[in-house]
Amino acid sequence: MKLNILAERYRRKIMRNWKMKLTALFLAVVFWVYVIF
């Protein structure tokens, strides 16, 4: 039961602000591609 609560808390933490996290990841990938090639 405690593990479930903990898992739910971390799931919320990861999902929170997901749009911004995805944008940052996208920018990092673009930047990486630009630097590599």
Partner 1 sequence: MDIFSQIWSQYIINALDILIVSYIFYRILLIIKGTKATQIIFGLVILLCVTILAKDVVHLRTLSWLLEKFWVTAVIILAVVFQGEIRYGLAKLGSKLSYYNHATPVQTSFLEEIIEAAIEMSKSRTGALIVLEKEMGLKNYTDTGINIDARISQELILSIFQTKSPIHDGAIIIHEERLHSAGCVLPISTEIEVKHLGTRHRAGIGLSSITDAVVLIVSEETGKISIAVDGEIEIIQQSDLLKTISKYYLKKD
In whole angstroms, give the CA distance from residue 2 to residue 15.
Answer: 20
Q: Is 14 in the site for partner 1 (CB under 8 A)?
A: no
Total number of residues binding partner 1 (CB under 8 A)? 15
Q: What DSSP state is assigned to residue 1?
A: -
Token pair 């990092």 in the structure block, residue: 28
Q: Is 12 in the site for partner 1 (CB under 8 A)?
A: yes
Minimum distance between the CB of residue 24 and partner 1, rounded to whole angstroms?
Answer: 4
Minimum distance between the CB of residue 5 and partner 1, rounded to whole angstroms?
Answer: 8
In whole angstroms, give the CA distance from residue 14 to residue 31.
Answer: 23
Q: Is 17 in the site for partner 1 (CB under 8 A)?
A: yes
